[in-house]
């Protein structure tokens, strides 16, 4: 599996031993409030389950999920992942970053590198992403990496028992 190195971070495949850093950095309401599928508080057991499943999935010849960790100075501080991968066609991506690294341009750089990698690796023609309607920062990341707004999906996801509209962006080759 590929490792991507930049001047500021390493982007590498997720492994089970990342669970401790994941739990520590994602267990922050400002980070997790926009991640629909994750509970709060997010504990080490959640991170171990997630990392274990994804590590196993990524070993398959044609994985449906593929997650790369953003590592800075030896610490996992975020992730960019693709799921619902249809090889030769499309995938949906999602991402998160520890709050202490917000506003530094790390997420757009990581997402752009990740998208370039998976377009090639999985021979994709389309990558899409969704953001909660009030998550302007995530929508800005999508715009910065060249994704185009495609519409609003009403009541697309549920967070804490509430239906949430999501904005959809995509990049097509």
User: What CATH number is given for 4-172 in this structure?
Assistant: 3.40.630.30
> What pTM value is reported for the model?
0.95
Is there a contact between 98 and 133 (Cβ–Cβ < 8 Å)? Answer: no
Q: Residue 37: its pLDDT value, please? A: 83
Task: Tell me the CA distances in angstroms from 158 to 24, 36, 76, 131, 166, one per residue in order.
Answer: 24, 6, 27, 12, 10
Domain limits, the chain: 4-172
Q: Residues 49-78: pLDDT tens digits?
A: 999 999 999 999 999 999 999 999 999 999
Task: Tell me the CA distances in angstroms from 105 to 8, 46, 150, one per residue in order.
Answer: 10, 28, 24
124 three-class SS: coil
Q: How far apart (Å, rounded) are the C-alpha atoms in residues 139 and 169?
A: 8
């Amino acid at each position: 599996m590929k490792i991507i190195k930049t001047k500021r971070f390493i982007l590498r495949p997720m492994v089970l031993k990342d669970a401790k850093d994941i739990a520590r950095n994602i267990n922050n309401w400002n980070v997790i409030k926009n991640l629909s599928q994750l509970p709060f508080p997010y504990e080490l057991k959640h991170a171990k389950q997630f990392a274990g499943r994804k590590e196993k999935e990524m070993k398959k010849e044609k994985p449906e999920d593929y997650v790369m960790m953003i590592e800075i100075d030896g610490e996992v501080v975020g992730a960019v992942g693709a799921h619902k991968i249809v090889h030769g066609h499309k995938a949906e991506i999602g991402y998160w970053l520890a709050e202490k690294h917000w506003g530094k341009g790390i997420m757009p750089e990581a997402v752009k590198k990740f998208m370039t990698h998976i377009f090639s690796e999985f021979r994709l023609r389309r990558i899409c992403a969704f953001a909660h309607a009030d998550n302007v920062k995530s929508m800005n990341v999508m715009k910065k990496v060249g994704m185009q707004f495609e519409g609003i999906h009403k009541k697309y996801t549920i967070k804490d028992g509430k239906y949430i509209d999501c904005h959809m962006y995509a990049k097509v080759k």
